[in-house]
A and B are shown apart, each in its own frame.
Chain A
């Protein structure tokens, strides 16, 4: 029997796809696919480091997409969930997908396929939430700035939405947890890695970074938020179900509640 091998990749999605390519190409008996630095070598397996290769990654991407458009988005979404061991699950998923004749009909009673679909769903939900819960604040340099702290790494997924929508303003969305952001410079979106010391929460105290009118508009928005609720129908449980408490500190209308 072929010895099993642990593949180590650099943590990027392209890196992962390259690892899948190598595994298929060299018919490796994969023990595990691990992110660089988090690796734990197995007792009975060899390790092989994968160097990201965009062409190879692209072939895997196209291969999955030709099977099913839904599958490629599920793979990408599930990958961004950053769940431990997701790479292995995804590798299993891709193997199963490639074995089917028609990628449209996957059997959800298979635990891997179901698990990936559930992960993808969770990430999709988070993506949609972030499209709703980003609150821009206008800085003195004319950049609309927002902090977010999503459960999953959804910045790559939301960038197109914000690029299409706010095409005429500079904006920066910063992921506090993962310490990087996406910045739109009126032409294209680029990734920026910053280490912001002063995390601009929606504090009630004013910060000099932002223009004065910013706080006026926040006050107007807060007023609007309050006056649009109907007192005789109040339902706090439903409210927190829709707007979970962990997001409150970045929402200007909830800053008094935090």
Chain B
């Protein structure tokens, strides 16, 4: 292995891969067999964190940043004048194994620019995974990108070696896709997704009958959407996320605030702020849909196409639906408790547990770790003190905002600052 050459390639190709936010190494259950190397732990491990605070758990690289496409949002687009490089298959294998043996990573995340055509690229990605699994007896985590437009046979083969497969749809709306990536068709993205989903379903049902059925993409599929590049509303994003969760049984949909990388009149200019708060609100909504029993139409609909940036989506839903509150913590059901702003899944479980022993009052709730600054207006407990006033939503929102702080608040506040 030529160290200097590999080093240069690694710098170029890791740099290009960093805009992929997925770094999950959880959800798989591959065991170490025959004294091989590695296993995939169910919970996943973050081995380090970058200076922007994101986790590093996989070696995330592109096989190459040569690309035949010219998608406006992408740093490796054809018309962008950057250094190009390509790894040899053996180089990726060596890097992965040596990093893994030193406990730097949980596995490999391999993506690629598209060279020649989709199938040719997909074949190369599969070749890396196959070599790792079969020649190196590697049981760590492998995340492969499904190349848009790859054939069904290749997608089938990819799932046999990879733990997770993902296609990034990037632009949530079909019209946005036409504008920013005119050479790609929407079907190119969904075809490999559908194939992988069908295979996962098939392998699962076979596994029920024959226990020795090999694994097929045990950590499922994920996808990613860029936020703030094509002028889409939060409703567009969340509705299409819900669609992908339901239709393709996605494990995760990631939202990535668009980081401007080059000048293009179709996109925000270089230097414009990364929409981190918006990204955060979208993730909060995503969690509400997956773990709190909300349906997307309750949070975003015709009247409310965008999320409230000032308060989190659950509080904002509660302020619009004051007739559900207050809720009595000592008697309410779990799904009702989950809808109280300031109560998370963990707090709710603790409340349910603690309720067996005694009636809870504010002190108990505080000790459990409930965010009382929000929750106090929406619930009753074993105490004479609760919010008796019939407050309207705006007043309540103002009171909550006044008694809390947020690191993004200066970005959307209309109040002029006295200092700085």
Contacts and interface: CB of A to CB of B under 8 A. Distances in A.
Contacts of B35: 167-168, 186
A236 interface: yes
A133 B45 CA distance: 10
Interface stretch (A12-20, A32-40, A89-97, A219-227): A219-227
Interface in A205-242: 216-217, 219-221, 223-225, 227-239, 241-242
B244 interface: no
Given A169-B37, A228-B14, A217 B356 contact: no
A217 B53 CA distance: 23
Given A166-B37, A230-B18, A242-B55, A137 B49 contact: no
B51 interface: yes
A237 B103 CA distance: 25
Contact of A135 (B50, B55, B103): B103
Interface residues of B, number: 51
A138 B102 CA distance: 8
Interface string B80-115: 000000000000000100110111100000000000
Contact of B101 (A128, A169, A219, A225): A169
Contacts of B101: 136, 138, 144, 166, 169
Contacts of B259: 230, 232-233
Given A165-B39, A236-B51, A228 B60 contact: yes
B47 interface: yes
**Residue with the greatest number of chain B CB neighbours at <10 A, chosen from A134, A144, A165:** A165
A232 B38 CA distance: 35
A107 interface: yes
A253 interface: yes
Contacts of A144: 101-102
B41 interface: yes
A60 B15 CA distance: 55
Given A105-B353, A224-B59, A230-B259, A168 B53 contact: no
A242 B11 CA distance: 24
B277 interface: no
B36 interface: yes
Nearest to B31: A164
Interface residues on A, range: 35 or more
A161 interface: yes
A43 B45 CA distance: 50
Given A166-B37, A227-B14, A234 B102 contact: no
B37 A132 contact: no
A164 B102 contact: no
A230 B41 contact: no
Interface in A235-258: 235-239, 241-243, 251, 253
B52 interface: yes
B11 A239 contact: no
Contacts, number: 136
A233 B274 contact: yes
B356 A229 contact: no
Given A144-B101, A228-B60, A242 B37 contact: no
A238 B99 CA distance: 25
B18 A229 contact: yes
Interface stretch (B2-10, B280-288, B313-321, B392-400): B2-10
A235 B408 CA distance: 13
B144 interface: no
B11 A223 contact: yes
Contacts of B59: 224
B348 to A, nearest CB: 15
Contacts of B276: 233
B96 to A, nearest CB: 12
B48 interface: yes
Given A136-B102, A223-B10, A234 B354 contact: no
Contacts of B46: 132, 242
A24 interface: no
B99 A217 contact: yes
B175 interface: no
A166 B47 CA distance: 16
22 contacts: A131-B45, A133-B47, A137-B102, A164-B31, A164-B32, A167-B32, A167-B37, A168-B137, A169-B37, A225-B48, A227-B10, A227-B14, A228-B15, A228-B50, A228-B60, A230-B259, A231-B52, A233-B53, A239-B49, A239-B50, A242-B55, A253-B48
Given A220-B99, A231-B52, 18 more contacts: A109-B354, A109-B358, A131-B45, A132-B48, A135-B102, A136-B101, A138-B101, A144-B102, A164-B31, A165-B39, A186-B35, A227-B10, A227-B15, A228-B14, A230-B50, A232-B259, A234-B52, A239-B49
Top 5 closest A-B pairs, CB basis?
Answer: A238-B53, A229-B50, A242-B49, A233-B52, A235-B53
Interface of B: 3, 6-7, 10-11, 14-15, 17-19, 31-32, 35-39, 41, 45-56, 59-60, 95, 98-99, 101-104, 137, 259, 274, 276, 350, 353-354, 356-358, 364, 367
Interface of A: 105, 107-109, 128, 131-138, 144, 146, 161, 164-169, 186, 216-217, 219-221, 223-225, 227-239, 241-243, 251, 253
